[in-house]
Structure 1
Amino acid sequence: MALLNLLHEWGGGDVDLAAVTVNHGLRTEAASEVEFVASVCENMEIPHQVLYWDGTQNNGNLQNAARVARYRLLADWALEMSRDIVLLAHTSNDVAETFLMNLSRSAGIDGLAAMPDRFVRNGVTFARPLLRESRSVLRSYLKACGRGWIEDPSNHDLRFDRVKMRGLLDILEGYGLSAEVVSDSAFALADSRDIVRNETSGLARSCATDDRGDVLFSRVPFASAPFELRRRLLAMAIRYVSNAEYPPRYASVAALLNVKEDNWKSTLGGCVITADQKTLRIAREFSSVRGTVCASDKLWDNRWKFTGPHRDGLEIRVLGEDGIKNCPDWRSEGLPWVSILSSPAIWDGETMISAPVAGFSAGWSAQIVADFITFVEAH
């Protein structure tokens, strides 16, 4: 509500504003809250739209699922409405709470640094203009303007980690660690994070190569880099290959880097990581894509795009051992078994039509839609 009012005052009718509310379908009170927002927008002559998500169907991490759905809905709305940017009202309190949540998970600099004030997700630019303002300041502003607001009751639900951290901040404030103090540290870490990101990009350019869906690191330049740069780059490679929303935990990646043997193999985050004296390879894990299926003209595993004679009924599925039997020349492709096993193939029912990565193209080709270096520099 504070962001809405500030934008209305700032725009003065010269800026094309629109408001959008996501109803997550989790509370019966949400309908009346949406009506409240709609009435405020109507009085301000700001177009308002409601987007819906059926959160009652979610059985996993509810807050994370709601966040993912919210960004997707907002991005789809912005693209449909040809909006240049979506503004979010995160505050310094959100920064402090996120800092404590990630601190409890032994996060590195990425998790502890303040969230970005501007980013791109699902093809849309988002910005957080109130990121350095506290909730108390915004409440005082709304009172001074004579504007009301609604407190979300889930902000007091102790089932959620963020709510627990909010209570912890109240305790810490008595020891001089207010939300503002904690968030200041997070903002300072964000500057350091940006420096480390640039160094990580440089390391990637010096030692990383793409190999048909896998990422390879030359071990000599990789091993000579500082530990934190190696940890970040390996975590990003695992996230890239697995198409995960978040990288694996700090401790899990650190454990891989602390392996002393020259030759080893491990799994983490939907990937198989293998090492020999010259190379560290990150490949997709077969079990993680065994049930991944899509039409031949869609993106498989959100990474692979096929070009060829598409038609109804053709699917992209993992090659697997049944498919490899039809690819007698797969060894000539120079990829290890684990990479071939988890590569995509075109299937017509139980009949394999094409497996370009395994050397059986039959008029088809398959490409990764984004290279690793570009991924690193974008994150």
Structure 2
Amino acid sequence: MSDDDNSPISAREAKLLFADLRRAPALVLAVSGGPDSVALMWLAARWRRSLTHGPQLIAVTVDHGLRPEAAREARDVKHLARSLDLPHRTMRWTGAKPKTGLPAAARAARYRLLTQAARASGATHVLTAHTRDDQAETLLMRLLRGSGIAGLTAMAPVTERDGIALARPLLDVPKAQLIATLKRANIAFADDPTNRDTVFTRPRLRALLPQLAAEGGSARNLARLAARLARANAAIDVLANGAERFLALRDRDRLPPDAPARSFEASAFATLPEEVRLRLLMRAIDAVGHEGPAELGKVEALLAVLDRGIAGAGRRAAGTGRPQVKQTLAGALISLSRGRILIEPAPPRRIRGGS
């Protein structure tokens, strides 16, 4: 992309943005009507016209039913899509809306409806218009929430949801370039006031970005940090995969192949780097537990207990058969006994009271 954050995106640059998607049979474009998604639709349509053979493009707008202007904005997107020779569909989020956690619930509903539209259209991908600015904001949000390395990688260029690929081709493009592109093409776009509503976390952080940029924390630098963390995260995953295979080989005769449990030799486990041990524990707990993903902070606390138990094993009386550690987390039972760490499904919680 151009180094000028305020220059329109050229046809050549747009071709590079979508190059990896050329062989897809069909693509759903998530278009809300704001500048980012309208630019995504316009750039994708221009790119598709340059191809002799290429994917079908379908514009989809999700109306969350939260603002009275949303229906009009969806109609405006439909008219623009029609002028670009693209089919358009509006998906509506119906039913009761939560009183708390509304942004997360709306986001989940949006992706659910978009993937439904993709399956109905025979599309393999949903394209969203997340930009470099969004990446910087996501990194800041996760940093302030105390995320680990995996969380601080922010958004990946491609992820998967319900069998549909979610692609973010504009993830390294600044929002200013998208607005410049639309202005040059004389294309109007909607202004969503919730993007500035400081009731929500993301708009509050967005308002801080100019001050952070003045201190060197520009969206470009924050996005670069997220990319570097993603690179480190991928390397750690490779180490964790190797360590998992190594421990499985040492433990292959301890558990039946189809056992709903994981087991590690404690002494070998203790030699691994702390971040690798954390990932192995999280993987095991998530695999056998039945209460959702384990929280990183709780797994860190569990690892500290296990490390103390392993270190003190030699000073304890041998042969008692009593576990040095026995805890439950996220629906998994984790125990340390006789030199082994065992992670297995926890028994159902007892319900107090009742008839």
TM-score interval, normalised by the smaller of the two chains:
0.7 to 0.9
Structure 2: runs of 5+ lacking an equivalent: 1-37, 249-254, 311-323
Note closer, same or farther for the CA distance 1:80–1:213 as it changes in structure 2 (3 Å cut). Answer: farther
1:146 aligns to 2:146 (yes or no): no
More strand per residue: 1
Alignment of 1:6-85 (within 5 A): 6-12=43-49, 14-15=53-54, 16-54=56-94, 56-85=96-125
Q: Report the TM-score, using the length of structure 1 for normalisation.
A: 0.70
- 2:333: which partner in 1? 272
1:177 paired residue number: 217
1:91-125 deviation digits (Å, cap 9, x = unpaired): 11111111111111222211111421112211111
> What residue is the counterpart of 2:176 in the other structure?
136
Q: Give the TM-score of the pair, scaled to structure 2.
A: 0.74
1:98 corresponds in structure 2 to 138
Shift of 1:7: 0.4
- Runs of 4+ in structure 1 off by over 6 angstroms are none
Query: Deviation at 1:60?
Result: 4.3
SS of the residue corresponding to residue 74 of structure 1 reads helix
Code of the aligned partner of 1:235: M
Aligned residues: 289
- Note the C-alpha offset of 1:267: 3.0
Task: Please give the residue correspondences for 1:236-255 in structure 2 after superposition, counting only pairs within 5 Å.
Answer: 236-242=283-289, 247-249=294-296, 251-255=297-301
1:261 paired with 2:309, answer: yes
Which structure 2 residues correspond to residues 1-379 of structure 1 after superposition, within 5 A?
1-12=38-49, 14-15=53-54, 16-54=56-94, 56-208=96-248, 212-242=259-289, 247-249=294-296, 251-259=297-305, 260-262=308-310, 263-286=324-347
Q: Indicate how the Cα distance of structure 1 residues 110 and 244 shifts in structure 2: closer, same or farther if over 3 A, else same.
A: farther
Unaligned runs of 5+ in 1: 292-379
Q: Which residue of 1 aligns with 2:317?
A: none
Displacement of 1:25 in angstroms is: 2.0
Q: Counterparts of 2:291 and 2:85 in 1: how far apart (Å)?
A: 41
* Offset at residue 11 of structure 1 (A): 0.5
CA positional deviation for 1:156: 1.4
| Higher-RCO chain (CA-CA 8 Å, sequence separation at least 6) | 2
Aligned CA RMSD, in angstroms, stands at 2.4
1:86 deviation in Å? 1.5
Deviates more, 1:72-81 or 1:204-213: 204-213
Q: Report if aligned partners of 1:88, 1:128 keep a CA contact under 8 Å in 2.
A: yes
Choose 120-129 or 199-208, whichever is displaced more. Answer: 199-208
CA change 1:242–1:62 in 2 (3 A) is farther
Q: How many Å apart are 1:169 and its aligned residue?
A: 1.7
Letter of the 2:106 partner, please give it: A
How far apart are 1:284 and its partner, in Å? 3.9
